[in-house]
């Protein structure tokens, strides 16, 4: 997975902390019982605990050079954490992010450690994954609390690159067999950011015409094209914005786009 110029291991470590601290700032005076529409069934308090627990799980995984998955109950069992004190939860979130970034830097990107991706055993995976995991969950918190969501162009482009690369892994077809339904003749999707300079190259082609999905950066004609601001493309691909809200424009086979989004969103 290649990062855009300027991103990379150190940049990902920085973003884990930057995104967590921004998310923590949303909690000042917030009602942690507020529902999170983009994470159905969760409250803001549960969302924050999920993110903070994820940071701590990844930190322990890297620090101990785990060779198999550690228990992740704290990430998933959130039924008893619907509320809480924002003055306590915000610092707790930030502290976990700082600890994860510190452990990653100490380990270095090539440290050998278990990851959930077959064939990958590098700590760099956790730096990139949790930078963007935290970014997207910050968006969830912002949408729930009515806070404007903005993010740097570099990190959003890299988040979309990472998403594309993960989604195109052949193992995804084994983990989620329903994704095979996407493959077929003429099935291509093009994403085009409308608020970036041409030299940035914020365009993506998803090619579903082969035995596995593939992607590349660049302009192309496709069965369906999605155009809109870069951040809105991120939220649309991650299933945080409905196509009906008008933040992006769809040209071509809208049914294919809806079919694709319904089967590939994650995070």
What does the pLDDT profile of the chain (267 residues) look like in tens digits?
Answer: 333 445 899 999 999 999 999 999 999 999 999 999 999 999 999 999 999 999 999 999 999 999 999 998 877 777 666 667 899 999 999 999 999 999 999 999 999 999 999 989 999 999 999 999 999 999 999 999 999 999 999 999 999 999 999 989 988 888 888 889 999 999 999 999 999 999 999 999 999 999 999 999 999 999 999 999 999 999 999 999 999 888 999 999 999 999 999 988 765
Domain count, the chain: 2
Is residue 196 domain-resident? yes
**Domain check: are 162 and 31 in the same one?**
no
Token duo for residue 19 = 């995104």
**Domain check: are 19 and 94 in the same one?**
yes
**Domain check: are 121 and 165 in the same one?**
no
Is residue 2 domain-resident? no
Is residue 161 domain-resident? yes
- Residue ending a domain, among 112, 128, 149, is 149
What range defines the domain where residue 162 resides? 157-264
pLDDT at 79: 67
**Domain check: are 161 and 144 in the same one?**
no
Is residue 190 domain-resident? yes
**Domain check: are 114 and 210 in the same one?**
no
SS (H, E, C) 76-109: HCCCCCCCCCHHHHHHHHHHHHHHHHHHHHHHCC
Would you say 136 and 238 are in contact if contact means Cβ atoms under 8 Å apart? yes
Three-class DSSP category at 26: coil
**Domain check: are 127 and 249 in the same one?**
no
Which CATH number goes with the domain that contains 168? Answer: 3.30.1050.10
**Domain check: are 15 and 52 in the same one?**
yes
């Amino acid at each position: 997975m290649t990062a855009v110029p300027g991103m990379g291991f150190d940049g990902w470590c920085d973003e884990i902390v930057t995104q967590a601290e921004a998310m923590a700032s949303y909690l000042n005076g917030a009602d942690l019982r507020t529902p999170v529409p983009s994470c159905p069934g969760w409250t803001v308090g549960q969302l924050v605990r999920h993110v903070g627990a994820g940071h701590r799980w990844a930190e322990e995984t890297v620090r101990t050079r785990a060779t198999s998955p550690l228990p992740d109950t704290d990430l998933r069992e959130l039924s008893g954490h619907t509320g809480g004190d924002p003055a306590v939860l915000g610092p707790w979130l930030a502290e976990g992010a700082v600890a994860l970034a510190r452990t990653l830097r100490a380990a270095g990107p090539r440290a050998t450690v278990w990851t959930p991706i077959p064939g990958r055993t590098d700590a760099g995976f956790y730096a990139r994954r949790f930078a963007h995991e935290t970014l997207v969950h910050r968006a969830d918190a912002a949408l729930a609390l009515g806070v404007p969501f903005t993010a740097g162009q570099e990190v959003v482009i890299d988040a979309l690159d990472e998403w594309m690369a993960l989604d195109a892994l052949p193992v995804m077809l084994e983990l989620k067999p329903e994704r095979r339904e996407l493959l077929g003749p003429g099935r291509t999707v093009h994403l085009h950011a409308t608020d970036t300079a041409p030299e940035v190259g914020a365009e993506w082609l998803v090619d579903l015409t082969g035995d596995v999905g593939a992607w590349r950066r660049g302009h192309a004609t496709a069965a369906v094209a999605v155009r809109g601001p870069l951040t809105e493309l991120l939220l649309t691909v991650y299933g945080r914005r409905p196509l009906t809200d008008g933040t992006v424009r769809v040209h071509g086979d809208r049914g294919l786009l809806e079919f694709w989004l319904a089967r590939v969103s994650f995070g």
